[in-house]
Amino acid sequence: MTRALLLALVLLVLGAGSWAYLARDAAPAARQWRSATIDRGPLVRSIAASGTLRPVTLVKVGTRVSGSIARIHADFNQQVRKGEVLAEIDTALIRAALAQIAAESAAARADLALAEVQHARNQRLVNRGFLAPSALDESRAALAARRAQLAQLAARRQQEETNLEHATVRAPIDGVVVARDVDVGQTVAASFQTPTLFEIAGDLTRMQIETRVAEADVGELRIGQPARFTVDAHPGATRHAQVRQIRLNPSIEQNVVTYNVVLDTDNADRRLLPGMTAQVSIELERRDNALRAPNAALRFRPPEAVAPAASGAQLYRLEHGQPVAVAVTLGMASDTHTELVDAPLQAGDAVLTGIADDASAARRGNFRLRLH
């Protein structure tokens, strides 16, 4: 009887201990919060846009003369000086036309000399009464026609000489050849419009960014505003730019109105190339030492709070392990932070941004229960 009683007591103690251990494991853990710190620092409100890098000066070089390309003296990326020969167009037809004009001019001068002699003879005969005055009028008209013919030939000669000069294509500015659209032997026709043979960028140490800004944002832009931008070719490298021009002519696509904005930037290292895509951030407003809160904290709303949420903007901080709402007055905002204009908070205070994920802890607790 004594042994049975002793065994029952041992089993009772073991059962109570196991129940207490399991109950302790199964008890819900205290809620874990995610938090961030109020701090002081720069705060920038900006407009984001995408643009294209282009040379400040880009000249399309063409020709007003038709013909085949005889020689090319410039190629891609070549530095050229103003007046330097870029290409030559075959001038055989122009020189043939000049030779024909020279022959016609010689004949016209002979005709003019004959007309002058005839007119002088008629003048003497009319003075002596041997010829009617009408004959003098005819010789005078013939003389004027010969002179007009010579003037016409002189104009044709000047035109062909100009064409001969234009057959040598020269650089209009100092710069770099960024495009060449012709090859030797290719025929260019300048009958209807001037064909483009080369494109020359004036100075690649200065570049411009051409971007578009929505009509809702363009009212806040001003000439001279600073900007920052990046290009995919050089990730992590942020460069500076400045608004130079806000063009008044709008662009309308699918009922969306945008305005072209041009920014200047330095390219002394020549790492920026024409045509690169730039991700631009134009600075509208800046605070250098603003008391700021993370935007994630302003968006957070806990399931419960000790004090009711105040009207307007609010943050939450922990007091005795519970979230308590704090009313705040907000100022300017950036993509990541918002200025606190009036708030019972200071730099270094912690505010809540969310609830920590404790699903993995719960799974571990259930696993231990199954083992017991």
Name residues whose C-beta falls within 8 Å of residue 113's C-beta, 6 or more positions apart in sequence. Answer: none
Q: What is the pLDDT of residues 199-208, one digit of tens each?
A: 999 999 999 9
Residue 29: which of 280, 365, 314 has the closest Cα? Answer: 365
Q: How confident is the model at residue 128 (pLDDT cuts 50, 70, 90)?
A: confident
Residue 352: which of 316, 310, 298 has the closest Cα? Answer: 316
Question: Of 53 and 355, which is predicted with more confidence?
Answer: 53
Q: Is 230 left (phi over 0), alpha (psi -120 to 50) or beta?
A: beta
Place of tokens 């920038």: 44
Q: What is the pLDDT of residues 308-322, one digit of tens each?
A: 555 678 999 998 888
Q: H helices within 129-242, ranges in order? A: 133-166, 215-218
The alpha carbon of residue 85 and the mean position of all alpha carbons in its chain are separated, in whole angstroms, by: 32
Q: What is the pLDDT of residues 38-59, one digit of tens each?
A: 999 999 999 999 999 999 999 9
Contact 27, 361 (CB under 8 A): no
Report which residue type is found at 271.
R
What are all long-range contacts of 104-107, with beta carbons under 8 Å and residues at least 24 apart?
A: 104/153, 105/150, 105/153, 105/154, 105/157
pTM equals: 0.70
Q: Which domains does the chain have, with CATH numbers?
A: 33-41+290-361 (2.40.420.20), 47-57+201-284 (2.40.30.170), 64-90+167-198 (2.40.50.100), 92-160 (1.10.287)
